[in-house]
Amino acid sequence: MSHSKLDQKKPNKTKQTVQNNIQSKYAQLGLHHFVLSTEVQSPRFKDPVRELFLYAVLNTFEDMSHFFWEEGQETMAAALAASRIYKNMAGRLSAADAELKIQLKGLSK
């Protein structure tokens, strides 16, 4: 069997189909806010671990933020940034959100 016959039997996936499949996987994981780039040569982020760390901090995903903090390059700067973000978020909450305010203050330490 020649290669051309094998190629004809394989399903033809376009870039759009592949990107749609990836987007649906991200949506299942709750990461539907990310815009994906299908071009490997030009990544959208210089440091994707830092971006994921900030995403986790802003969404108060404690375990995820800790994981990406450990994987990151500048751990001290990241810890200070996360602490400042949590303190700022806690300061902006109203009295009705007292439980979340306490949680954020605890995370900032």
Tens of pLDDT, residues 41-93 = 445 778 888 999 999 999 989 899 999 999 989 999 999 999 999 888 888 87
- List the domain range (segments joined by +) for residue 78: 46-109
Instruction: Tell me if 43 sits within 8 A of 37, measured CB to CB.
Output: yes
pLDDT of the residue at 99: 80
| Count of structural domains within the chain | 1
In a domain, 26, yes or no: no
In a domain, 109, yes or no: yes
Sign, CA torsion 9/10/14/16: positive
Provide the greatest CA pair distance for the chain: 73
In a domain, 34, yes or no: no
In a domain, 81, yes or no: yes
- Flag whether the pTM goes above 0.85: no
pLDDT of the residue at 40: 46
Q: Helix, strand, coil % (nearest 5) of the chain? A: 65, 0, 35
In a domain, 33, yes or no: no
Share of the chain above pLDDT 70, in %: 61
In a domain, 41, yes or no: no
Higher pLDDT, 97 or 34: 97
